A and B are shown apart, each in its own frame.
Chain A
Amino acid sequence: MADPFESYDDLDDIDDRLHAADPGERRVAIIAIGHSGDPAAVAHLDRMTSDPDPGVRQQVALALGEFDGPEAAAALVKVLVDPEQAVANAAADSMAELKDPGCADAILPLVSHAHAFVRMASLRALKELRRKDTLKPALDALRDTDAAVRVQAIGVIGFLKMEESIPALTSVTTDADAHVRRAAVSALAFSQMKPAAESITRALADTDWMVREVAAETLGTNVNGMHATDPLINALTDEFWQVRLKAVRSLGKMKVARAVPAIGACISHAQANLRKEAAAALGEIADPGGRKFLEPIVDDPDPEVRKNARWAMQQIVARKGALG
C-alpha cells in the first residue's frame, strides 16, 4: 500500500522536472515545488523566472506566493516586471501577501519603475510591511501621474501613521481624482493635528459624494472632529442620503446637542436606513429636544427604525432622570 501521507518531495528530484522540454511538465513541477513548504525552494523558483514560456513564469509567480522573506521578494520582483500582464498580475497578488519587513529592500527600487502597474503593485506590497524608510518614496509617489499609484502611496503613508506626513496627505485631499481624495481623507483619520481635521472638513464640500461620505464618517473618528460640528450639521442636507447617514452617525457619536433639530429633520426621509441612524443618534445625544422627532416613528413600519426610536426615547428619559 502506498504511503498514506502527502510527500515532502526532495527538491532535487523536482528540480530535474524543472528542466523538462515540455512547458506543461515544467508547470506541473513548479506546482509541486510551491507546495513543498521548504524555503530552499525559492532559489529553484528564482531560476525559473526567466523561463521562455509565459505560462511557466505565471506559475512561478503564483508559487512564490507560498513563501515569505527577502529571497522570495527578490524573485517576485523579476516576475512583476514581466512583459506578460498575466504574469505580472500573479506576481502582484503574491507580493501583496508578503509580511516580512525585510522584503522591502527588494521592492523599493520598483516604486520608480517606468510602468504604472509595477509602481502600483510595489506600493501595495510595501503597505503591509510598514517600514519607516518607505515613507519618503511613498511621499514622492503622491505626485505620480497615475491615480492608482497615488492611492497605493497614500496607503503606505497612512499605514505608517506618522504625523510628519500630514502636510503631504492634506495636499492630496484636493487631488484631481476622486479615488485619491477618498483615500487621502480616510488616511488622515489617525492624526491629532488640527490641519488634518480641517482638511477632512473641507472634503465635506467635495464634488464627489463618496468623498463627502468618507469625510463625514472620518470626522466621527478623528480626535478633532468635534471642531467640525457646524459643517457636519450642514452635511445633513446633502443631496445624497448616504452622506447624511454618516454625518448623523458622527454627530451622534460626538453627542452634539445642537445637531438635534437637523438630525430630527432626517427622520421623515423615505430611506429607512437614514431614519434608523437618525433615531439612534438622537438616543446617543439623549437631549430632550429629540423627543418630538422620535414620537412619530415609534410605530414606524420598519422594525429597525422603531427599535431604535424606542431605545432613543428610553435614553432621553434615563438621562433626564439622571440629571434629576
Chain B
Amino acid sequence: MAMDEIVDGLSEVSCDVLVIGGGTAGPMAALKAKLKNPKANVVLLEKANVKRSGAISMGMDGLNNAVIPGYATPEQYTKEITIANDGIVDQKAVYKYAERCYGIIEELDSFGIRFLKNENGDYAVKKVHHIGTYVLPMPNGETVKKAIYRQLRRARILISNRYMATRLLTGSDGRIAGAISVNTRTAEVLVIKAKAVILCMGAAGRLGLPTSGYMFGTYENAANSGDGYAMAYHAGAALANLECFQINPLIKDYNGPACAYVAGPFGAFTANNEGSRFIECDYWSGQMMLEFYNELQSGKGPVFLKLDHLHEDTISEIETTLHKVERPTRGLFHEGRKTDYRQEPIEMHISEIGFCSGHSASGVFVDEFARTTVPGLYAAGDMASVPHNYMLGAFTNGSVAGEDAMEYADNTDFASFDAADIERERERVMAPTRREDGIPPNQIEYKARRLVNDYLQPPKVTRKFELGQRRLAEVREDMETRMIARNAHELLRALETQSIVDCADMAAHASLYRTESRWGLYHLRTDYPEKDDENWFCHSLLSKKDGRMASEKRAVEPYIVPIGEDEKDLYDKQRIRASA
C-alpha cells in the first residue's frame, strides 16, 4: 500500500466521556473521569500520539503560577490575575484553580514528575514577581508526558491516537452527542458517540506566520492549529474574548521561549540595546508585551535576554535546564549561530499572533466547572477561557472538567442526533480527496497565515481588518471549492487549514466588535486607542448564530475577591516612569 493511501471506511464506537486532545489538560481530564467512575468508558482521542503530544511534548521547565501555601494565597493570586487581565475575569474559575492547584502539584509529584526541591525536600519556590511568589522550577521536567502516560495506561483508558476530530455532534435537544473524527494516516472516519465531551485541543498556535517563513516554526506546538476553537464554534458554543490575542516574547528566529522564568531567578533579565531593563510591568500581560513591542520599534531595540553579567557557574546551571527541557533544541540553535550566553545576550523578538488562554484570555467560554454553553460539552487547558492558566491550569482545570463531565454522564443518556449529520460531515471532510485538480493545502495555509500577519497583527487598524476579511474570504472560497488532498497526510493538513481559516475569521470578527483598546498589545486598536470601561467592561462572546458569526456582550460576574479602588490601577502604578 502506498504511503498514507486513502482508505474508504467508517466505524462507530460509543463511550460515556470522550476527551479530545491528549496533551496536558486532556490526559488529566480522562484520568479523573475514569477514577471517578472506573466502570465507565472513557476515550481519549488524539491527533498525534498521547506519549508526546501537545505543548509539553518535551516537558516543561517550570510552573509560572503555582499557588503554594506559605508563598501565595488563592485570594492574592485571583487579584493578581484579575488585574493582569484588565478586570475582565470571572473570578470563580480562577479562584477554584488557585485553591486546587497545590493538590495537583502534590499529585503530579506522586506520579514521579520532578519539581525543584531544596535539600530539605520542600518545593524550592522562587520569587520573580514584585507581589506574589509563584514560580516553581522544574529543571528535570522533561519526563512530564512520560509520567502522565504511565498513569493513563495504569487506569486502562481507551486511547485513540492519530485521529483528528473534525466536528462535534449535537442532539436535537441541543445537548452534545459525540464527535466525528478521521484517521490521519488512512482517512478512515470514526464516529464516537458520547454522553459528555471534553475539548482539550490546545491553543490556536498556527494562526500567524513566523517571521522565519517556516510554516511549522511556530511558538506553540505546530500541531495546535486551533481545531478545538473551530469545532466549538461550529457546535454553537460561545467563545470569549478572542480579540485578546496571544503574543509572546521569544528567541528571535528560533521562535521558542527564551524562558525569563528559568533564567530570572538566577538574575538574568530582558534588556534593551543599552543593556538596561525596560519592562515596567510585573506580571506577564498584554501590557508587558506592549512595552516589549514599543522597545523593539524604538531606537533602543533590539531586545535581548541578558545573562552575560552572571557568573560562569550560574550560566552553566541555566543552560542545563534550557537545553534539556521544553524546547531542548535551543542549545543546538545557539551553537549553530555561535551564541555563547557568557559572551553576548540572546536576541529576542515577539511571536506571531494566536489564541491561547494559557498566556492570555482567548478561549471557549467556560464556567468554574469547565462547562461551555453547550450542555454536556466541556473545555479545559489553553483553549478554555480561564485566563493565564499555563500548564498547571491545564492540569487543574482538566481535572475539574473530568470529574464534572463524568458526573454529568452518569446522570444522562446519549442524546439522539440526525444520522444524516454523519454523512454530511463525511462528505465535507473528504471533499478535498475527491478533486482531481486544485490547490494543495500548504499553499492555502501559507496564504491565509500571511494575510493574518499583514492585516490582523496588532496594532489593529479597522480599515486593515476589513481588507483582511475580504482577502480571507477569497482564500476560504478557494479552500472550500478547490483544495486538494492526494493522501491521508495531506488531508490532515487540509483539515487543519480549515481550522486556521476559521480562527482567522474569528480573530478578525472579535477584534472589530470590541471598539476600545484593552490588554496592552493584545487588543490595541489605533482608531479606539483608549480603554472604555463604561461600555466595554465586559466579556465579548462570539458564536455561530443562523450559520453566521455573531458577537455579544456578557457581564463580568461579580467579584468574589474584591479589588480595592486603590488596587485597581496597581499595574498602572507599577509602571513608574522616571520623572527625570
Q: Do chains A and B touch in the complex (CB under 8 A)?
A: yes
State which residues 1-30 of A face B: CB under 8 Å.
1, 4-6, 8
Provide the residues of chain A in CB contact with B153, threshold 8 Å. 8, 35-37, 66
Determine, out of B434-442, B505-513, B572-580, the stretch whose residues face the partner at the interface: B572-580
Instruction: Indicate if the CB atoms of A4 and B190 lie closer than 8 Å.
Output: yes
Q: Which of B110, B120, B309, B575 is within 8 Å of A159, CB to CB?
A: B120
Is B147 engaged at the interface, CB distance under 8 Å to the other chain?
yes
- Chain B positions 24 through 62: 1 when the CB is less than 8 Å from some CB of chain A, otherwise 0: 000000000000000000010000000000000000000
Is A212 engaged at the interface, CB distance under 8 Å to the other chain?
no
Number of A residues whose C-beta is below 8 Å from B?
48
Provide the residues of chain A in CB contact with B278, threshold 8 Å. 303
Could you tell me the distance between the alpha carbons of A279 and B455 in the complex, rounded to whole angstroms? 44
Provide the residues of chain B in CB contact with A306, threshold 8 Å. 576, 578
Instruction: Indicate if the CB atoms of B276 and A302 lie closer than 8 Å.
Output: yes
Provide the residues of chain A in CB contact with B118, threshold 8 Å. 158, 186, 189
Nearest residue (CB) in B for A98 is B112
Is B161 engaged at the interface, CB distance under 8 Å to the other chain?
yes
Is A99 engaged at the interface, CB distance under 8 Å to the other chain?
yes
Is B419 engaged at the interface, CB distance under 8 Å to the other chain?
no
Instruction: Indicate if the CB atoms of B120 and A307 lie closer than 8 Å.
Output: no
State which residues 271-306 of B face A: CB under 8 Å.
276-280, 282
Q: Which of A96, A99, A158, A271 is within 8 Å of B120, CB to CB?
A: A158
Provide the residues of chain A in CB contact with B146, threshold 8 Å. 65-66
Is B373 engaged at the interface, CB distance under 8 Å to the other chain?
no
Instruction: Indicate if the CB atoms of A6 and B119 lie closer than 8 Å.
Output: no
Chain B's interface size range is: 35 or more
Is B562 engaged at the interface, CB distance under 8 Å to the other chain?
no
Given known contacts A4-B13, A242-B267, A161 and B121 CB-to-CB distance under 8 angstroms: yes
- Chain B positions 118 through 135: 1 when the CB is less than 8 Å from some CB of chain A, otherwise 0: 111100000000100000
Is B313 engaged at the interface, CB distance under 8 Å to the other chain?
yes
Nearest residue (CB) in B for A210 is B313
- Kindly name the residue among B143, B150, B576, B580 whose own CB sees the greatest number of chain A CB atoms within 10 A: B576
Instruction: Give chain A nearest CB distance to B429 CB in angstroms.
Output: 16
Nearest residue (CB) in B for A240 is B311
Q: Which of A36, A159, A210, A307 is within 8 Å of B121, CB to CB?
A: A159
Provide the residues of chain B in CB contact with A161, threshold 8 Å. 120-121
Instruction: Indicate if the CB atoms of A4 and B280 lie closer than 8 Å.
Output: no
Is B163 engaged at the interface, CB distance under 8 Å to the other chain?
yes
Could you tell me the distance between the alpha carbons of A9 and B118 in the complex, rounded to whole angstroms? 41
Instruction: Give chain B nearest CB distance to A154 CB in angstroms.
Output: 6
Could you tell me the distance between the alpha carbons of A72 and B172 in the complex, rounded to whole angstroms? 52
Could you tell me the distance between the alpha carbons of A68 and B110 in the complex, rounded to whole angstroms? 11
- Chain A positions 121 through 154: 1 when the CB is less than 8 Å from some CB of chain B, otherwise 0: 0000001101000000000000000000000001
Could you tell me the distance between the alpha carbons of A93 and B313 in the complex, rounded to whole angstroms? 24
- Chain A positions 87 through 112: 1 when the CB is less than 8 Å from some CB of chain B, otherwise 0: 00000000011110000000000000
Instruction: Indicate if the CB atoms of B156 and A307 lie closer than 8 Å.
Output: no
Is B454 engaged at the interface, CB distance under 8 Å to the other chain?
no
Given known contacts A35-B153, A99-B112, A310 and B576 CB-to-CB distance under 8 angstroms: yes
Could you tell me the distance between the alpha carbons of A158 and B117 in the complex, rounded to whole angstroms? 11
Is B416 engaged at the interface, CB distance under 8 Å to the other chain?
no
Name A residues whose Cβ lies closer than 8 Å to a Cβ of B.
Answer: 1, 4-6, 8, 35-37, 65-66, 68, 96-99, 127-128, 130, 154-155, 158-159, 161, 183, 186-187, 189-190, 209-210, 240, 242, 245, 271-273, 298-304, 306-308, 310-311
Name B residues whose Cβ lies closer than 8 Å to a Cβ of A.
Answer: 9-11, 13, 43, 110, 112, 114, 117-121, 130, 143, 146-147, 149-150, 152-154, 156, 158-161, 163, 183, 188, 190, 267, 269, 276-280, 282, 309, 311, 313-314, 574-576, 578-580
Q: Which 10 A-B pairs have the closest CB atoms?
A: A37-B153, A159-B121, A187-B119, A97-B112, A158-B119, A6-B159, A186-B119, A299-B580, A303-B280, A299-B578
